Structure 1
């Protein structure tokens, strides 16, 4: 008699489990239906972002490749001025600027840095005046100044 009651109990558990699975599938399908537009919109945004990033990367590569090549040639001790200026792709490209040695590039960079530093030093008093109101406000807020 105990075998029959155990069998009925196991059968009841199976029926309950099947019922729970069917309810879960129904809930899952209703949630998928309810949020389908969100999933589609997210997928579209993801593909748009990926395509925009690919375009940006391509643009960055196109804009920086000539200057990277120019600096690479300037730093290459084996490069001679009359060497062939072809890309890896085999396409010849017109140079916008002549190749300069590394020392000239470094001197140019140092001059730009000096000019920026001099400009910053000339305007440092103006920058201090612009920061004064925020400094006074911070002091008032922390009760250091009345």
Structure 2
């Protein structure tokens, strides 16, 4: 009989070691303020919204969210567009640069370092590792 509790403890130790070996050390984790990050993350989850809708969802004053949106727009991370179903409404949405910035902000591992390390691992072992991680994630999603 296999001891899954021991496997879980071993996995936890290895996971922590992998995280410590490959987490990003290049700079401050985020170049975004907390408020800017919150707006970008929220839009990424909900899709385009009006400033008023975003303010309501984020439980902030519309003027505050409007100021954050204007700053993100000046920085090329958000854009305003007419709602195709109601031309009177203006929606805010992430630009491609905003989507890239958000992806970089979410990244916790140093991909170049990780890719270099994975390159030294045989291809079949890499595939087994990735398949195993997918299986673990899939099994954790079951009720």
Taking structure 2 as the reference length, what is the TM-score of the superposition?
A: 0.26
Larger gyration radius, structure 1 or structure 2: 1
Q: Kindly indicate which of the two structures has a greater share of residues assigned to helix.
A: 1
Q: Which is richer in strand?
A: 2
Q: TM-score, normalised by structure 1?
A: 0.26
